[in-house]
Amino acid sequence: MSCFSELLNRIPDGDNELVGEASARRVTIDFDGLLDLRDREQSKQAEWRCSIVDLMKLLELDTSYGSRKELLLELGDKQIDIDLNGVAEMNLWLHRQVMKKLVENRGRYRRDC
């Protein structure tokens, strides 16, 4: 299973009242609501809207540099870019890409950062 698939599978989507019909064929998932609910349930007060590390912690995923680097490479960045830009830039790019992919995978997300 890919890193992003594992991340996506950690977000519940079918049995929640926060899921609504976008059309007869497609369901849109309220990722904001689902992740906020999970954050409240875990009493973490995570900054998941801005931080890839907090998002991964909230979903109980490995937040190590190696894990984030693997996810980054899966989502399309190149090794040379990681080495040139540094970890902070990697984390910002990675968070943007993960949230973009969530939206592409039937999600709704409101950026608050």
- Could you tell me the pLDDT band of residue 51, with boundaries at 50, 70 and 90? very high
Domain assignment of residue 84, given as a range: 3-9+19-104
What does the pLDDT read at residue 103? 83
In a domain, 14, yes or no: no
Number of domains in the chain: 1
pLDDT of residue 104: 83
Within-domain flag for 110 = no
What's the rounded Cα separation, in Å, for the pair 58 and 39? 7
Which range is least confidently modeled, 11-20, 31-40, 60-69, 104-113? 11-20
- Residue 111 in any domain: the answer is no
**How open is the CA angle 72-78-79, to the nearest 5 degrees?**
90
3-state helix, strand, coil in the chain (%, to 5): 55, 10, 35
> Is residue 109 one of the residues assigned to a domain?
no
Q: Which of 8-12, 16-20, 30-34, 46-50 has the lowest mean pLDDT?
A: 16-20
